[in-house]
């Protein structure tokens, strides 16, 4: 799948240079026992035009689900619902209105490199799970 140009129905886009983002993807890989999700870095998505008119990389996780694009906490909620076994976490997140959860997400996104650091390459480059990623 790594060289396939088709966009999967459930694609998680994350910052491949962000250590927090890489750790979050590692957690998603661990809990996604049915391999529902496919992953790609935002850098790969921009380079291969997977998203329309992306001038700069967003400070957000993106989730492409059946031609719909979810960002930030809405992406997390949709991802958790699709995985299924943590549906309750998605429901808990939805209890809080977006005007409360989005500023917290944005704050973490703004300082993620400072708090967790940055890596020169995606941490999954040499993983046994390469089949779950586009462009790796």
Q: At 38, is the pLDDT very low, low, confident or very high (cuts 50, 70, 90)?
A: very high
pLDDT at position 125 is 62
pLDDT at position 76 is 92
Between residues 97 and 56, the one the model is more confident about = 97
Over residues 39-62, mean pLDDT:
78
pLDDT at position 43 is 85
- Which backbone phi and psi does 63 adopt, to 5 degrees? -130, 120
CA distance 40 to 12: 6
Q: pLDDT at residue 4 above 50?
A: no
Stated pTM of the model: 0.84
- Residue ranges per domain, the chain? 10-132
Q: What is the mean pLDDT of the chain?
A: 84
CA distance 91 to 81: 8
């Amino acid at each position: 799948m790594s060289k396939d140009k088709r966009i999967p129905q459930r694609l998680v886009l994350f910052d491949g240079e962000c250590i927090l983002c890489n750790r979050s993807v590692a957690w998603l890989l661990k809990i996604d026992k049915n391999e529902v999700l496919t992953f790609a870095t935002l850098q790969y998505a921009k380079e291969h035009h997977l998203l329309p008119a992306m001038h700069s990389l967003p400070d957000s996780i993106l989730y492409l689900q059946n031609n719909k694009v979810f960002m930030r906490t809405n992406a997390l909620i949709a991802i958790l619902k699709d995985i299924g076994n943590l549906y309750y976490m998605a429901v808990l997140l939805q209890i809080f209105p977006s005007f409360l959860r989005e500023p917290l997400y944005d704050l973490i996104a703004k300082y993620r490199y400072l708090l967790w650091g940055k890596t020169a390459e995606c941490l999954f480059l040499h993983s046994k799970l390469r089949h779950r990623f586009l462009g790796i």
